Structure 1
Amino acid sequence: MKLKNGFTLIELMISVVVIGILASIAYPSYTQFVAKGARADGVAGLMNAANRQEQYYLDNKKYTDDMNKLGLGADPWIVENKFYSIDAVVVNNSDFTLTATAKGTQATRDSACASITLNAAGNKLPKECWK
């Protein structure tokens, strides 16, 4: 009797099914992790812009909607990872709202946080995007 080394077709198909099940579980978790990481850069950009707004207010007694005047170099300002653009809206020179808008693939993979806002009073919306 000869010993045959190798895999049968059934063994191979079972291995493929197991790998497919593991991949179907892991991929959504991975995309959520990547989206949350990119969102963190957008949130950090909002905090940076808010700090610069407050410094600008101390120097000029008013807020600005021009990101160039805040030293960010562009209007709207694109954060470092290029997944969010940040723009400011100023009302009566005494109140501002900063909005981070998701761009590209971030807008589709993190649709719940496609737009994140922060205002002069410190209100952060949507709440779940700031965790």
Structure 2
Amino acid sequence: MKIQKGFTLIELMIVVAIIGIISAIAYPSYMESVRKSNRADAKASLNDVSQRLQRCFTAYNSYVHDSCAVGKSLDGGGTVSSGENLYTIAADGGDDIDATTFTLTATPVVGTSQAGDKKCETLTLSQAGVQGATGSDAANCW
């Protein structure tokens, strides 16, 4: 009697099905983890732009003084790209920046992994340090 070695087709199909089930669970969790870690880019950029605006206010008593490059670039609906180019930073959701107040908004760039972030769609930061967010889990974004 000759003994055959190897896998049957049924065994192989069971392994493929198990790998498919594990992948269907693991991939969305992995992508959520990537999105969560990429939010650090928005937070760092919001804090950086906010600090530069605060320096302008300290020096010129205005966030939009002619000598303040970042204030001028945000005034009139301008934007600043985040460090990793995953977010765009705008003042007051795209409106003009005020001489004494501002609210910065970080919005994901279309076509990046962050564009699918439904838990934290946008992040905001005001001149008073008030942090905010929109999305299904906005309370846990910062």
TM-score normalised according to structure 2 size: 0.80
Instruction: State which of 96, 103, 118 in structure 1 corresponds to 2:102.
Output: 96
Unpaired segments of 5 or more residues in structure 2? 134-138
- RCO comparison, higher one (Cα < 8 Å, 6+): 1
Name the structure 2 match of 1:17.
17
Note if contact 1:65-1:87 (Cα within 8 Å) is conserved in structure 2: no
Instruction: Please say if 1:28 is aligned against 2:34.
Output: no
SS, match of residue 111 in structure 1? coil
Letter in 2 for 1:129: C
Spell out the pairing of 1:1-131 with structure 2 (5 A cutoff).
Answer: 1-64=1-64, 69-70=69-70, 75-89=78-92, 90-91=97-98, 93-104=99-110, 105-126=112-133, 127-130=139-142
Letter in 2 for 1:123: V
Note if contact 2:120-2:141 (Cα within 8 Å) is conserved in structure 1: yes
TM-score normalised according to structure 1 size: 0.86
CA distance in 2, matches of 1:5, 1:65: 80
Deviation at 1:86, TM superposition (A): 0.5
- Corresponding pairs, count: 127
Identity across matched positions, percent: 39
Deviation string 1:28-55 (CA, Å, 9 cap, x unpaired) is 1111011112211011100111111111
Note if contact 2:38-2:114 (Cα within 8 Å) is conserved in structure 1: no
Q: In angstroms, what is the RMSD of aligned CA positions?
A: 2.3
SS, match of residue 5 in structure 1? coil
